[in-house]
């Protein structure tokens, strides 16, 4: 009997496969991964680290598309089933709040989160170095960029899918402008999506889990459950051959989400398949979006693989939350609300 509930909408047509016999760990891969291959559309060499949402009975995605000149931009895509995607050749045409073209110099690792009736796109943009950019759309036709929420340098902006205690809430990972050899997850609030404050520390890298010993960063928008906010994130370790990106899972307090309730000391997915181990940057799994069905507790996770492909993996709210509780470890002051 499932005791854990997802608090959200039903999505009976979302991608889904049952856990195969003999699967290792609480998250299993889609059998036809990767769902987006190299050179998916003219001028685009690779698509990875991307976000999807249900929209008008189908799915839309905001994709990190690395063009054949090596620069990342955001492209829209559409899909009937969440697995076969048609990607637009052109970059998303962003405008500023006055309606004038306002294209980012580069854009990567988008998240796409619906809060009330607005879809927010959050990505890593160029603002005198790596920083968080945001835009809004309601129809996926016009995209209006808003003020950048934080100073550089920062990445992995992850918005919660509803206001908490009356405010928008966003996670972020302060960083440097390069390949950042450090980093914890922080949280900030805003009453209006312009002014952000009440900054709190959420979770630290490290602990017993060496897979997350260098840095961590938020992943898909947290999923509201009866146990608190379930969030997948990436954890990074260093090797003599470079960084390795795995996926972890954490449960944050429902009303005070800067407080970690449970956090898995082991990864829930790590590079093991050819499309995760081999590509532009080997050994990367980087989750950026989920689809969920409240009725069944099913979760589909979209993740970038080796900075080259998009993969899908599955779990259920019950399975992953049981796993996180069973493997929980308290790291540093994660359980505090983060005021110093
Ligand atoms: C991080 C980000 C991600 C990328 C990862 C591995 O710093 O830039 O987009 O997937 O490195 O290259």
Determine whether the shortest distance from the Cβ of 146 to ligand 1 is under 6 A: no
Cα–Cα dist 340/338, whole Å: 6
Indicate if the pLDDT at residue 141 is higher than 70: yes
Determine whether the shortest distance from the Cβ of 287 to ligand 1 is under 6 A: no
Indicate if the pLDDT at residue 18 is higher than 70: yes
Express each pLDDT in 162-196 by its tens digit. Answer: 999 999 999 999 999 999 999 999 999 999 999 99
Determine whether the shortest distance from the Cβ of 303 to ligand 1 is under 6 A: no
Which of 66, 284, 311 best tests ligand 1's pocket when mutated (most atoms within 8 Å of CB)?
284
pLDDT the model gives residue 340: 81
Residues composing the chain: 340
CB of 292 within 8 A of CB of 315? no
DSSP 247-269: EEEEEE-SS-TTSEEEEBSS-SB
User: For residue 235, which of 223, 251, 252, 250 has the smallest C-alpha distance?
Assistant: 250
If you measure from the C-alpha of residue 196 to the centroid of ligand 1, how many angstroms do you get, rounded to a whole number? Answer: 25
| Percent residues over pLDDT 70 in the chain | 100
pLDDT the model gives residue 46: 98
Q: Left, alpha or beta for 35 (phi > 0: left; psi -120 to 50: alpha)? A: alpha
If you measure from the C-alpha of residue 270 to the centroid of ligand 1, how many angstroms do you get, rounded to a whole number? Answer: 15
- Using alpha carbons, list the distances in angstroms from residue 237 to 80, 180, 217, 282: 37, 12, 12, 13
pLDDT the model gives residue 288: 98
Cα–Cα dist 122/116, whole Å: 16
Query: Which residue is closest in CA terms to ligand 1's atom 4?
Result: 307
If you measure from the C-alpha of residue 110 to the centroid of ligand 1, how many angstroms do you get, rounded to a whole number? Answer: 12
Determine whether the shortest distance from the Cβ of 109 to ligand 1 is under 6 A: yes
Determine whether the shortest distance from the Cβ of 281 to ligand 1 is under 6 A: yes
Determine whether the shortest distance from the Cβ of 307 to ligand 1 is under 6 A: yes
- Taking the CA atoms of the chain, what radius of gyration do you get in angstroms? 18
If you measure from the C-alpha of residue 265 to the centroid of ligand 1, how many angstroms do you get, rounded to a whole number? Answer: 22
Query: Which residue is closest in CA terms to ligand 1's atom 9?
Result: 109
Structure tokens at 292: 């969920």
Indicate if the pLDDT at residue 2 is higher than 80: no
Express each pLDDT in 50-84 by its tens digit. Answer: 999 999 999 999 999 999 999 999 999 999 999 99
DSSP 286-313: EEEEEEEETTTTEEEEEEEETTTEEEEE
Indicate if the pLDDT at residue 198 is higher than 90: yes
Ligand 1: nearest atom to the Cα of 108:
9
If you measure from the C-alpha of residue 26 to the centroid of ligand 1, how many angstroms do you get, rounded to a whole number? Answer: 24
pLDDT-derived band of residue 1, with 50, 70 and 90 as boundaries?
Answer: low
Determine whether the shortest distance from the Cβ of 318 to ligand 1 is under 6 A: no
């Amino acid at each position: 009997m499932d005791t854990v509930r997802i608090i959200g909408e039903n999505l009976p047509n979302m991608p889904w496969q049952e856990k195969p016999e003999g699967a290792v760990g609480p998250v299993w891969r889609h059998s036809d991964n990767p769902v987006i291959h190299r050179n998916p559309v003219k001028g685009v060499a690779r698509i990875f680290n991307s976000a999807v949402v249900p929209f008008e009975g189908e799915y839309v995605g905001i994709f990190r598309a690395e063009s054949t000149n090596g620069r990342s931009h955001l492209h829209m895509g559409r899909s009937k089933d969440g697995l076969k995607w048609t990607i637009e050749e052109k970059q998303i045409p962003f405008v500023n709040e006055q309606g004038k073209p306002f294209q980012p110099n580069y854009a990567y690792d988008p998240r796409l989160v619906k809060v009330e009736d607005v879809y927010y796109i959050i990505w890593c943009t160029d603002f005198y170095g790596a920083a968080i950019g945001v835009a809004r759309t309601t129809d996926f036709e016009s995209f209006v960029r808003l003020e950048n929420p934080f100073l550089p340098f920062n990445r992995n902006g992850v918005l919660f899918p509803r206001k908490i205690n009356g405010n928008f809430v966003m996670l972020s990972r302060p960083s440097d402008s390069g390949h950042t050899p450090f980093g914890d997850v922080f949280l900030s609030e805003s009453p209006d999506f312009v002014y952000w404050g009440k900054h709190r520390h959420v979770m630290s890298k490290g602990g017993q889990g060496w897979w997350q010993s260098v840095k961590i960063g938020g992943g898909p928008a947290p999923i509201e459950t009866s146990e608190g906010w379930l969030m997948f994130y990436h954890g990074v370790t260093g090797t003599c051959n470079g960084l390795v990106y795995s996926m972890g899972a954490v449960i944050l307090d429902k009303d005070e989400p800067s407080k970690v309730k449970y956090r898995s000391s082991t990864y829930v997915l790590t590079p093991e398949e050819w499309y995760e181990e081999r590509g532009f940057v080997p050994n990367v799994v980087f989750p950026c979006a989920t689809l969920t069905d409240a009725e069944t507790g099913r979760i589909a996770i979209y993740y970038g693989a080796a900075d080259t492909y998009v993969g899908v993996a599955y779990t259920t709210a019950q399975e992953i939350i049981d796993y996180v509780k069973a493997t929980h470890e308290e790291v540093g002051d994660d359980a505090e609300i983060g005021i110093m």
